[in-house]
Structure 1
Amino acid sequence: MKLAVLGLGNMGSALAHCLLKSGHDVSVWNRTPEKAEVFAEVGATICSSPNDAIAASDFVIICIKSHTETVELVNGLSFSLEGKTICDMSTGDTSDADRLVAILEKQGAGYMLGMINAYPSGIGGDETTILTVGSAGTWDRYGSVIGNLGGKSAHVGEKPAALAALFAGLFTVRQGFMFGMIYGALVCQKAGIPMQVYADQLPATIKLVKDYHDLFARTVPTEDYDNAEASLKVYAMAQEDALKTYLSLNAPADFIRLMHDRTKTAWDDGHGDRQLTSLVQHMTDA
C-alpha cells in the first residue's frame, strides 16, 4: 500500500512522521519545499508536485487549510483520480465538503473526510480519535491506516454532513465548558474573589462533568427521562439563583440566562419532573 501526505504544517508533519514510524511507504509534498526535505532523512519520498505525490499513491491524505483549497488542488491535477482514495483532513463546512466529494466521485475516486480530535503531539496515541466519513468500502481498505494515526479512531458514516455536524456538536461541548469557566471568572471577579481561589476550586467542579456525561449517555440515546434524581425544575431554580447573582453584581449574564430560559421554558411545558437532559427532546420538538 502506497500512501501520500500533502501539506506538511504542524499537523501534516505529525501525520507523515507517524505513518513512516509505522513502516508505511509514504510520499510527501508541501508548497514550501524546504518543509518536505527533512522527511527524506526518515525514509519518505519527496515529491515536487501534488501530481507526483498522488500519482505514486493509493491512499492520499491531504492536510491543508480548507476543503476549498483541496478542491483547487484536485482541480489542478493533470490526470484522473480513478482508483485513488483521497482523505481530506482539512477543515470546512458542509457545502465545501459536498463540493469536494462531488468532484472526487465524478472522477471515480474514493473519498474519506477526517476530523482530528488531537493536537499534533497526540498523533499516533492510543487514546487519540480521528472520526471519518467515507464512500463505501474505504474504511475497510484504509481504516487500519487511520488507526495508526489514532487508536480510538472510527468511521461514522458516508455523508459529509455527518462529520460537519459531529464536529459542531463536539466543538460546542468543549467551547461551552471553556465559556462556562470564563463567565464564572467574570462573576467571581465582580465579587472580589481572587482568580487563583476560583481556579483552585475548578477541579472539584470538573469531577462532576463525568457524572453529567454518564447521565447524558444513560438517558438521551434511550429517551428515558423519568425518575430524575435531580429534576429539571431543580436545575431551573438553581439557574435562577445564579442568574440573580450575576445581575446583582452587574456581571455579563447572557450565558447563564440562555441556560435558565431554555430550562424554564421546558418546565413550563411540563418537563419539570423529568431529567435535565430531556431538553434534547423538548428543543427538538419545539
Structure 2
Amino acid sequence: MSAAPVTVLGLGPMGRSLASAFLAAGHPATVWNRTPGRAHGLVESGAVEAATAAEAIGASELVVICVLDHDAVRAVVEPHATALKGRTLVNLTAGTPDDARATAAWADAHGIRYLDGAIMVPTYLVGGSSALVLYSGPADLYARHQDTLRAVGGTCVHLGADAGRAGAHDVALLDVFWTALTGVVHAFALAGAEGVTASDLAPYAKGVAALLPDVIDAFAEQVDKGSYPSEGSNLRSAAAIMSHVLEASHSRGIDTTVISAAHDIARRGMAAGYADDSYAHVAELLRG
C-alpha cells in the first residue's frame, strides 16, 4: 500500500524538517510557504511546491501546519476554510492550550477535523528515533493518521480528546527547560565573576542536573497527593541556600532577577507556614 500524501504549510526551520521527515518516510509531500523560495532542497528531494495555500491544501487529505504562532496559523487557514472542509488539519505550531482550543473550535465550526500537537525536540532531531511529539484531539482521528504521523519521529503520544492537552504539556515542559537554562547561564556568569570558566564548571553543573530526575519524581508525588514531607531538606534551608547565591551575585554585580524571584517565592512559602515542609509545597502558592 502506498504511503499517504501529506501537505506541509509553513517552511520555517521546523516546517522544513517536518517535510523532510515525511519525504524520507516515503510520503508524497506538497509544501507551501507564504514567502516563496523556501522549498529548494525539498523539491530536489521529491516534494511538490504549491503556488498557493489553496493548491497545497487540495493536494492531501492530511494537512500539517507549523508556523511562528497561532496568529500566523489563523492568517493562513481562515481564508481557506472551504478548501479544508472534510480534511484533517494537524497543527504543530507552538502556542498556549487556549490557542489550541480556539483553533479546534474554529475548525469544528467549519467541518474541519483537527488535531493539535507539540514537538518536544529541536529541528535536527525531527524524523529520528529520539523525537517526541505529543498530540491531542479526537482519538479516532489520531488513530486514523497515526501511521503517517509516525514519520515525524521516534515517539508519538496521544494525550486525550481535549485539544489543549498537548499545549498544556508543552508550556509546562518549556517552563522547565527555559527556567533551567536561565539558571545555567546565570551560574556561568556567577562562576566567571569568580574566575571559574564555564567549561570548568560544566561537569559539576551536569552533576547537579543528574540529581533532578529523582527530585522531579518525588515532587510530582507530593504535589499530586497534596502532602509535602521535608525528607531532610525543607523550605527554610532552601531559602537560606538561595540567600548565599543572592549575596555572592550582588557582590560581583551579577543580575539577580531569576534567583531573587525564586528566593521571594521561598520566603512567601515560609510566611504561609511551609517552612518545615518540602520545597514542593510552594506549588500551592504558585497556583494562587
TM tier, smaller: 0.7 to 0.9
Following TM superposition, by how much is the alpha carbon of 1:96 offset from its aligned partner in structure 2, in angstroms? 4.6
Equivalent residues in 2 for 1:1-286, closer than 5 Å: 1-36=4-39, 38-77=41-80, 79-93=82-96, 96-135=99-138, 137-226=140-229, 228-284=231-287, 286=288
Report deviation, 1:124: 1.6
Kindly indicate whether the alpha-carbon contact (under 8 Å) linking 1:5 and 1:28 is maintained by their aligned counterparts in 2. yes
Q: 1:95 to 1:277 in 2, by over 3 A?
A: closer
Change (3 A) 1:125 1:221: farther
Q: Give per-residue Cα distances to partners, 1:93-122, cap 9 Å, x unaligned.
A: 456544433332121011122221222210
* Equivalent-residue separation in structure 2 for 1:263 and 1:2 (angstroms): 53
Unaligned runs of 5+ in 2: none
Cα distance per residue 1:219-277 (max 9 Å; x no partner) = 33333422513222222222233333333444322322222221232233332332221
Normalised TM-score (structure 1): 0.85
- Three-state SS of the structure 2 residue aligned to 1:113 is strand
Gaps of 5+ in 1: none
Aligned-CA RMSD value: 2.7
TM-score, structure 2 normalization = 0.85
Q: Which stretch shows the higher mean deviation, 130-139 or 107-116? A: 130-139
Alignment check: 8 A CA contact 1:186 1:252 kept: no
1:159-191 deviations in Å (ceiling 9; x for gaps): 444444333222221111111122223333333
Worse overlay, 200-209 or 26-35: 26-35
The aligned amino acid for 1:265 is R
Q: Give the SS at the match of 2:231.
A: coil
Which sits farther off after the overlay, 82-91 or 163-172? 163-172
CA contact (8 A) 2:188 2:197 kept: no
Confirm or deny: 8 A CA contact 1:68 1:96 kept in the other structure: no
User: SS of the counterpart of 1:48?
Assistant: coil
Compared CA separation, residues 172 and 46, structure 1 to 2 (3 A): same
Contact residue 30 and residue 59 of structure 2 kept, 8 A: yes
Secondary structure of 2:246 counterpart: helix
C-alpha separation in 1, matches of 2:263 and 2:33: 49
